[in-house]
Amino acid sequence: MTVRVLIADDQMMVREGFSVLLGAQPGIEVAGEAVDGRDAVGKAAALRPDVVLMDIRMPVLGGIEATREITAGGGPDGTVPRVLVLTTYDLDEYVYEALRAGASGFLLKDASARQLADAVRLVAAGDALLAPSVTRRLISEFARMDRAPRPPARARLRDLTERETEVLALVAQGLSNAEIAGHLVVAESTIKTHVSRILVKLDLRDRTQAAVVAWETRLVTPP
């Protein structure tokens, strides 16, 4: 199935560069380009792409607010585009806010064509683009900002079984289904079922949102 992508960046050279790179990849179609966050919100609603490549720092409307608006709305069929945030630095302070706003992951702008295409496909499939090394920094950032567990959010975890809670914690640490299955010594299909149930019970869209809930409730804390 072809993955349709909307590229949102206020720099024309960046938009054109990503458009050329993605357009050359099999199974990926560039549905359009947006010059700022407001333009991205409008074109996401009109074009209904599968994935939006979103720059964080843009005029008129920033990438974080644009991400929040895009992920909050849905098409006639209930589908919502997934947002892949583009950033220059992997420790960009705004990345954390973008994840809270509904982004499914983030990617450095100097990524190779292969990394970019793989990231788009991964996010389109509903997976989280959060490598373990990046995840550790994200967890540490939540701790550094001294965020106390939010009672309503912590209460949501009560609906999870003991095994689902364990799986959620491992998801929040950046482990893939295969890695979690190896860690718990169960079939990968079993982990997929647990993850699906977690998303349904917590009313979440993808693994990234699940990870954010785990971090904010302090289910996972930095070593």
41-64 pLDDT, tens digit per residue, is 999 999 999 999 999 888 899 899
- The yes-or-no verdict on residue 203 having pLDDT over 90 is no
Mean pLDDT of the chain: 82
pLDDT value at position 88? 74
- pLDDT, tens digit, for every residue of 5-22? 999 999 999 899 899 999
Q: What is the pTM of this model?
A: 0.72
Exposed/middle/buried for residue 128 (C-beta within 10 Å: 0-12, 13-18, 19+): buried
Which helix (H) or strand (E) segment is 30 a member of? strand 28-34
The pLDDT value given to residue 89: 62
Higher per-residue confidence, 82 vs 147: 82
Condensed to tens digits (0 to 9), the pLDDT of residues 21-41 reads: 998 999 999 999 999 999 999
Every domain of the chain and the residues it spans:
3-129, 140-216
Residue pair 54/8 in contact (Cβ under 8 Å)? The answer is yes
154 pLDDT more than 70:
no
**What's the rounded Cα separation, in Å, for the pair 157 and 48?**
32
The correct answer on CATH 3.30.950.10 for the domain covering 140-216 is no
Q: Find tokens 């302090």 and name the residue.
A: 218
Q: pLDDT tens digit string along 104-137?
A: 887 877 778 888 888 898 888 876 665 555 555 6
**DSSP readout, 156-204?**
HGGGS-HHHHHHHHHHHTT--HHHHHHHHTS-HHHHHHHHHHHHHHTT-
- Report strand pairing: 82-87 vs 51-55: parallel
Please provide the CATH number assigned to the domain covering 3-129.
3.40.50.2300
Q: How far is CA 161 from CA 27, 45, 167, 185, 193, in A?
A: 38, 37, 10, 18, 13
Q: Which residue has the higher pLDDT, 177 or 78?
A: 177
pLDDT, position 98? 79
**DSSP strand E in 45-154: where?**
51-55, 82-87, 105-108
Per-residue pLDDT, averaged over 196-206, amounts to 87
- Determine whether 48 is exposed, middle or buried from the number of CB atoms within 10 Å of its CB (0-12, 13-18, 19+): middle
